Amino acid sequence: MDFSYLHALRGIVGESWIVDIILEGELNNEGMVFDFGLVKKEIKRAIDEGMDHKFLIPASIAGLQVIEDDEDFRFCFENVTGMKLCYRSPREAVYLLDADRINTETVTPILEKHLKTIVPANVSNVKVKLRAQDIEGAYYHYSHGLKKHQGDCQRICHGHRSPIKVFIDGKRSGEEEFIIAKQWQDIYLVTREDVLHQDASYITLGYEAEQGYFELTLPKASCDFMSGDSTVELIAVHLAEHIKERHPNKKVEVQAYEGYKKGAFANA
């Protein structure tokens, strides 16, 4: 499950969770609790249509002002440090939770309750375990939107928690990996052509996509800028080119990832 969420201090955080599910129930006339193939598809569809690739907002977070109508969802947010965000999107791109924070403890019971409504009648209980990938080494959280994408990746605030691997002349460089992880911790990746306005402190970006109009204002310090779209392939190229500037006479290879087990390689 890949998504972004609003954090009281960190702002917009990209996240990836692995979803483990246990179904309990009576055996049916085929000697099974359920047809695994069918139920797996239904559960995946429920998660995809629920929180996956959405911006999760804790409704009770301090400093949040929500404006909602039949089609659009808008909010402005200011935290205790004075950091401000403003957001607009189609309603389907957001999931508003009755909570003051987003974590596995607040999300799990909501998922369990929803999944219980779609499983076969002989399934008596659904248990959900949400967990982050166990990453050895450096990683970062990033958020972005891909306006040209025909699916849910077009949403302006969805994100990932991703490992990063860097090789200099064929040798793994933990130093370069941690430099990137520090620079890109809770980063928002901006495609330059999407910028509508910017000043010394804040930037506004927006675009029209298949699902509707998206717009976001956030601190400039939370952003990195890309000349093209922020696909994982172009992210790998972007990082490789920047690392190459520090190692002009060496071969640079970057393995960048988009959440769990989805990645791309680039050389410079």
Domains and CATH numbers, the chain: 2-267 (3.30.479.10)
CA–CA separation, 228 and 244 (whole Å): 19
CA–CA separation, 232 and 253 (whole Å): 14
CA–CA separation, 135 and 16 (whole Å): 12
Instruction: Tell me which residue of 239, 102, 101, 90 sits closest to 152, measured CA to CA.
Output: 90
Per-residue pLDDT of the chain (268 residues; tens, 9 = 90+): 999 999 999 999 999 999 999 988 888 777 877 777 778 888 889 998 899 999 999 999 999 999 978 789 999 999 999 999 999 999 999 999 999 999 999 999 999 999 999 888 888 899 999 999 999 999 999 999 999 999 999 999 999 999 999 999 999 999 999 999 999 999 999 999 999 999 999 999 999 999 999 999 999 999 999 999 999 999 999 999 999 999 999 999 999 999 888 899 999 9
CA–CA separation, 223 and 189 (whole Å): 6
With H, G, I as helix, E, B as strand and everything else as coil, classify residue 89: strand
With H, G, I as helix, E, B as strand and everything else as coil, classify residue 133: coil
Q: Are 158 and 53 in contact (CB under 8 A)?
A: yes
